[in-house]
């Protein structure tokens, strides 16, 4: 009884977000705009302290910064998992609050650091049992992303059961499956929170290629930890303590002596490239 009551409490919890949007979002062109956005998970503690930036259609924007800077929070806000306290977030010139939640989220694919897979086959983990996605599409996507060989090397190939939470795969391999899942849904906007944990060289290479393919031609926001991803981005946003401290391309930012990005690069990546 006690357990049941707890479950009902959870079921009764009202969503923090009120789905008042009346516009069914049309297929996005992919222009993203944050205008002086303020947000805190708790009312007395702002974690996003007035952030403004733009992502043009087709562009890849990389967000870098220290842990706790607010990078993942930006993703939560774009998907409207939380309501902001000030400013506006617009996609294609329309405040995202005007869009119905379903139509907004349907067009944004998210690949998180920690990928969740179901105790099911790889195939079903890719399509999520969506009958509109055909087998041919899945195989074509696997070719495009460059992971078909890896999947075929598993016992049963696409019908390999990954078991609870994808326990049979490494974290890099789980992220590759998530790439495929995102790719077949053909989202207008892609969000990628790169895994920080170390990944074997083979998966690393596959992930780099997959990232390139999946971000091509669609607006992408990548919380980047890999130098290769950062260098290829059209724009880098450097965050610190809830604010944007620098913005520009890799080379522009490297040329700022005493810059935040330059320091980050010197401490984190210079050693990496020397190796």
Ligand X SMILES: Nc1ncnc2c1ncn2[C@@H]1O[C@H](COP(=O)(O)OP(=O)(O)OP(=O)(O)O)[C@@H](O)[C@H]1O
Question: 173 vs 117, 151, 184, 201, CA distance in Å?
Answer: 11, 9, 17, 12
Q: Which chain residues interact with ligand X by CB under 6 A?
A: 41, 47, 65, 67-73
Q: Which of 194, 196, 197 is nearest to 207 (CA)?
A: 194
Give how many residues touch Mg ion by CB under 5 A. Answer: 1
Residues numbered 38 to 97 that lie near Mg ion (CB under 5 A) are 72
> Contact, 47 vs 67, CB < 8 A?
no
| Dist. CA 268–CA 246, nearest whole Å | 17
- Both tokens of residue 87? 């400013």
Residue 153 contact among Mg ion, ligand X, none, beta carbon within 5 to 8 Å by kind: none
Other CB atoms closer than 10 Å to residue 35's CB: what's the count?
15
Specify the residue, 73 or 229, whose C-beta has the smaller distance to ligand X: 73
Q: Give the residue closest to Mg ion by C-beta.
A: 72
| Nearest approach, Cβ of residue 242 and ligand X (Å) | 7
Specify the residue, 205 or 240, whose C-beta has the smaller distance to ligand X: 240
Residue 217 contact among ligand X, Mg ion, none, beta carbon within 5 to 8 Å by kind: none
| Nearest approach, Cβ of residue 227 and ligand X (Å) | 16
Specify the residue, 75 or 96, whose C-beta has the smaller distance to Mg ion: 75
| Nearest approach, Cβ of residue 206 and ligand X (Å) | 23
Specify the residue, 73 or 173, whose C-beta has the smaller distance to ligand X: 73
| Nearest approach, Cβ of residue 72 and Mg ion (Å) | 3
Residue 67 contact among Mg ion, ligand X, none, beta carbon within 5 to 8 Å by kind: ligand X
Specify the residue, 13 or 67, whose C-beta has the smaller distance to ligand X: 67
| Nearest approach, Cβ of residue 233 and Mg ion (Å) | 17
> Contact, 32 vs 189, CB < 8 A?
yes
| Nearest approach, Cβ of residue 178 and Mg ion (Å) | 16
Specify the residue, 72 or 170, whose C-beta has the smaller distance to ligand X: 72
Residue 73 contact among Mg ion, ligand X, none, beta carbon within 5 to 8 Å by kind: ligand X
| Nearest approach, Cβ of residue 141 and ligand X (Å) | 28
Specify the residue, 163 or 263, whose C-beta has the smaller distance to ligand X: 263
Residues that bind Mg ion (CB under 5 A): 72
């Amino acid at each position: 009884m006690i357990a049941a009551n707890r479950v009902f409490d959870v079921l009764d919890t009202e969503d923090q977000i009120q789905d008042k949007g009346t516009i069914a979002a049309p297929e996005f062109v992919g222009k993203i705009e944050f205008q002086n956005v303020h947000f805190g998970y708790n009312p007395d503690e702002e974690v996003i302290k007035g952030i403004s930036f733009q992502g043009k259609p087709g562009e890849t924007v990389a967000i870098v910064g220290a842990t706790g800077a607010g990078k993942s929070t930006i993703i939560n806000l774009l998907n409207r998992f939380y309501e902001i306290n000030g400013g506006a977030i617009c996609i294609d010139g329309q405040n995202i609050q005007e869009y119905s939640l379903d139509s907004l989220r349907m067009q944004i694919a998210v690949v998180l650091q920690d990928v969740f897979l179901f105790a099911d086959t790889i195939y079903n983990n890719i399509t999520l049992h969506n009958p509109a996605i055909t087998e041919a599409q899945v195989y074509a996507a696997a070719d495009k992303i460059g992971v078909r060989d890896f999947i075929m090397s598993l016992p049963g190939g696409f019908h390999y059961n990954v078991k609870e939470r994808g326990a049979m795969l490494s974290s890099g391999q789980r992220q590759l499956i998530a790439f495929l899942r995102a790719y077949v849904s053909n989202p207008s906007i892609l969000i990628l929170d790169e895994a920080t944990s170390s990944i074997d060289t083979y998966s690393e290479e596959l992930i780099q290629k997959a990232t390139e393919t999946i971000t091509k031609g669609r607006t992408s926001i990548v919380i980047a930890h890999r130098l290769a991803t950062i260098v290829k981005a059209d724009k880098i946003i450097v965050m610190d303590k809830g604010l944007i401290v620098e913005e520009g391309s890799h080379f522009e930012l490297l040329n700022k002596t005493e810059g935040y990005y330059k320091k980050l690069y010197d401490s984190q990546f210079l050693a990496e490239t020397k190796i």
